[in-house]
Amino acid sequence: MAQLYDIALEFGYRYEQPASMGRHVLRLLPLNLENQQQLVAGEVSIDPRPDDRRDGVDFFGNARTEIAYDRPISGVTFRLQARVQRTATAPQFDLSPALERLGEDLALARNLAPGSPHHFTGNSDRVQTNPAMTAYAREALSRAGTGPLTAFQAVQAVGRALHRDMTFDPKATDVDTDADEAFKARRGVCQDFSHIMIACLRGIGVPAGYVSGFLRTIPPPGTERLEGADAMHAWVQAWCGTEMGWVQFDPTNDLLVASDHVVTALGRDYADVAPIRGQLRASGSQKTSQKVDVIPL
């Protein structure tokens, strides 16, 4: 079912004193994804206007905007206005191989294209597999069923287990918390849920990556409001073999991603898709506004 959204985002920062803000990279503009979503229109605007601005696409195909100021500034506001047509649906059929045969499919994927599962198997900047998380994932699999699971079933089993065992707690972690730390505490926000799920999946041989994006703000009638609707959200994509390809799972809300989510950027972990990268937080800055509205039309 196609769904049209208007997305409005605003992040504002102020400095105690005018500061040389340096250089930043923004990844805010939603992606065009074949058969899943279409960016009808969109614009990232920055106030004050940067002295240098370069728009481009990164390795994974995400829209990136690099900005720099020649002069000290006393504050900055980033805004996104976008209209997105979302057509993605949750997978209807399980076309994935048995988990233990996923490696055979992987061996056939002989390429380094951005969507190649090989980018998502090893350790990345913010996600390192470790025995504890791998053991947890195996435990989740054995609890999910007695017979051998398919890769797709495995992904859901791990995601569901995490949703059950983790507590959503914005105070427990911050943007720099690593997966292992949040896992030990069994607490965190969508970023932590996602990093932990990625580590668990990679640990059992499922290529897994990080998705940043948006959730619709007001849920459809009769359903509950989802966690993360008032900010940018994050979830997981997992590779379920040649036939099935990538599927997306939201461990924070325990669901397969369909038309309520809008994808902004894909990467191995948060470091690849951070909405704002640069030294913004370094020099005594203060976040003055954060508004995210995702309005279904």
Enumerate binding residues for another protein (CB under 8 A): 22-25, 51-52, 54, 56, 58-60, 66, 68, 70, 109-113, 116, 118-119, 121-123, 125, 271, 277-279
Q: Is the dihedral of CA 220, 221, 227, 229 positive or negative?
A: positive
Secondary structure (3-state) at 251: coil
CB 82 within 8 A of CB 171: no
| Minimal distance, residue 113 CB to another protein, in Å | 8
CB 77 within 8 A of CB 289: yes
Task: Report the C-alpha dihedral over residues 82, 83, 87, 90, rounded to 10 degrees.
Answer: 40
**Considering beta carbons, is residue 125 or 165 the nearer one to another protein?**
125
| Minimal distance, residue 119 CB to another protein, in Å | 5
| Minimal distance, residue 31 CB to another protein, in Å | 17
**Considering beta carbons, is residue 69 or 214 the nearer one to another protein?**
69
**Considering beta carbons, is residue 31 or 257 the nearer one to another protein?**
31
**Considering beta carbons, is residue 2 or 271 the nearer one to another protein?**
271
Integer angstrom CA distances of residue 39 from 86, 87, 120, 234: 9, 11, 25, 19
Q: Is the dihedral of CA 49, 50, 53, 58 positive or negative?
A: negative
**Considering beta carbons, is residue 83 or 138 the nearer one to another protein?**
138
| Minimal distance, residue 96 CB to another protein, in Å | 20
Element (H, E) at 10: strand 3-19
| Minimal distance, residue 271 CB to another protein, in Å | 6
